[in-house]
Amino acid sequence: MESRAGLDGLQTRRSFLTRGAAGIGSLALASLLNPGAFARGARPTNGSDGSLGTVNPRHHPPRAKRVIFLYMAGGPSHLETFDHKPKLAEFHGRPIPTSVTNGQQLSPLNRSTNLCVAPQTGFSTCGRSGQSMANLFPHLSGVADELCIIRSMHTDTFVHDPAHTLMCTGSMLPGHPSIGSWVWYGLGNESSNLPGFVLLFSYGKLFAHPLTRQIWHNGFLPTRFQSVEFRSQGDPVLYLGNLKGVTPGRQRDVIDAVQALDEIAANSVDDPEIAAHVSKYELAFRMQTSVPELTNLASETEETLAMYGTTGFDGSFGSNCLLARRLAERGVRYIQLVHLDWDHHAKLRDGIQLTAKEVDRGMAALLSDLKRTGLLDETLVVWGGEFGRTPIAQGNLDNPGRDHHHSAFSMWMAGGGVKAGYSHGLTDEFGFHVVEDPVHVHDLHATLLHLLGVDHERLTFKHQGRDFRLTDVSGRVVQSLLA
């Protein structure tokens, strides 16, 4: 009786009123409709474990089942990747015309004299579709006909942290859920043994761009939609392995005991986070088997490993791309690969060649492998960073860098219902402003959700009295990107 009274003391006012006013009637009705619902150890059937999602059925027929976002942290230069500007070569070393900048505020990091910098790499026409791409990507150019290149992206800030936050959460303010958490919350998870949102990091040889992990947080969504990072050294997932001497059977006993205590508390306290903890314990137990199997690449052929440019689970971008394919095969809903080597403020010519080489083979292999296995049609692959770079110099003109630029940059998508071999949008002759078919970050998010069968205006979560959504109060589906 003492312990029972102690638990009753945890009741909230809401739970007390609920039980007092309608609790008996609700229990009676539920028991008639589902006699087994109150059996000990029964699992929730309304998707409270995150498996079903809140958009069930979809708002409209989906074109994609999952997303793989290849996130190039630091701001890849569109002028050295997918937006060729011969005019910059003509103006190399000359001031950019004031008619182009038109008084626009530039990043305060720039200490140059507004001198134009020629593209630091050559460009070629690739594929039957004639996609214009930098020569930095010899492998990706081989799958150019799969790409839907967007050359008219723009965002709201040239500062890294808020730009990352906007691209990954739809808001420049911290504390909002990431895209992956929104997708998991809306669509649920096809895998019962892996989380619905997985993060994979890779580090280049130049500079590990600093990031705050809160941009991949569940924010105000329930904690069961929190991303899980898979690491390349040591245990793939922290604290997943058992201590020495702890057998799976004993671990199962611990989880059952914790679950029983949680169920007692859930009957006394109206707190949805208790169910979240139960489901996370269960998922962690199943991951003790599924994660080692996932990261064991022994079943992959030598040809496949060579295609990705990896020898195994080594933490490289190529290895992470191979893991992304394996995660997609196992039904993970949202997979984000983060490469931390794109902040080229100096020695851009040398730096971007090295960084592009780090990712080129892996992302081309991923697209080819997804197509080979029949997964590309149902998997949306997205490539890009938080913003672009200026057409003017930063540092020495002999091997200059480029500063942050938010008014224009490039991204690409592939698979999952987008046009293949298509280029969208246009910037001016200097790559400074978008002049045709602009695409804001909110538009990108709205289009991404649309391809998953979700109306971005209807995927909401009430927080502090307001219905929040990934696209905030704007965003439109860019219909011309759709196949």
Mean of per-residue pLDDT scores for the chain: 85
The alpha-carbon radius of gyration of the chain (Å, integer) is 25
Give the per-residue pLDDT at 22.
44
Res 372 pLDDT > 80: yes
| Percent of the chain topping pLDDT 90 | 66
Q: Would you place residue 213 in the very low, low, confident or very high pLDDT band (cuts 50, 70, 90)?
A: confident
Tell me which of 49-58, 103-112, 161-170, 196-205 is least confident.
Answer: 103-112
Q: Tens digit of pLDDT for each residue in 412-425?
A: 999 999 999 999 99
Contact between 72 and 92 (Cβ < 8 Å): no
> Which of 111-125, 145-159, 290-304: highest mean pLDDT?
145-159
Q: What is the mean pLDDT of residues 378-401?
A: 93
| pLDDT tier for residue 52 given thresholds of 50, 70 and 90 | confident
Half-sphere exposure at residue 190, Cβ-oriented, CA atoms within 13 angstroms: 13
For the ranges 57-61, 160-164, 228-232, which has the lowest average pLDDT? Answer: 228-232
Mean pLDDT of 71-83: 97
Q: pLDDT at residue 246 above 80?
A: no
pLDDT at 266: 60
What is the predicted pLDDT for the residue at 180? 98
Predicted pLDDT at 20: 45
Banded model confidence at residue 114, pLDDT cuts 50, 70, 90? confident
pLDDT number for residue 42? 30
Per-residue pLDDT at 71 exceeds 90: yes
Residue 352 in tokens? 């971007």
Q: Which position has the higher pLDDT, 331 or 295?
A: 331
pLDDT band at 2 (very low <50, low <70, confident <90, very high): very low
76 pLDDT band, cuts 50/70/90, is very high
Q: Which residue has the higher pLDDT, 204 or 360?
A: 360
Q: Percent of the chain scored above 70 by pLDDT?
A: 76
48, pLDDT greater than 50? no
278 vs 311, residue with greater confidence: 311
Q: Is the pLDDT of residue 402 over 50?
A: yes
pTM of the model: 0.84
Per the listing, tokens 């992956």 go with 180
Instruction: Tell me which residue of 127, 149, 150, 128 sits closest to 138, measured CA to CA.
Output: 127
Cα-Cα-Cα-Cα dihedral of 378, 383, 387, 390, to 10°? -140
pLDDT score of 152 more than 90: yes
Report residue 238's pLDDT band, with 50, 70 and 90 as the boundaries. low
| Structure confidence at residue 289 (pLDDT) | 76
Of residues 74 and 41, which shows the higher confidence score?
Answer: 74
pLDDT tens per residue across span 266-292: 666 666 666 665 566 566 657 777 888
Q: Is the dihedral of CA 255, 258, 264, 266 positive or negative?
A: negative
From 46-50, 240-244, 305-309, the region with the lowest mean pLDDT: 46-50
Residue 452 scores a pLDDT above 60: yes
Task: Read off the pLDDT band of 50 (50, 70, 90).
Answer: low
pLDDT at 35: 39
Of 216, 238, 213, 266, whose CA–CA distance to 42 is shortest? 266
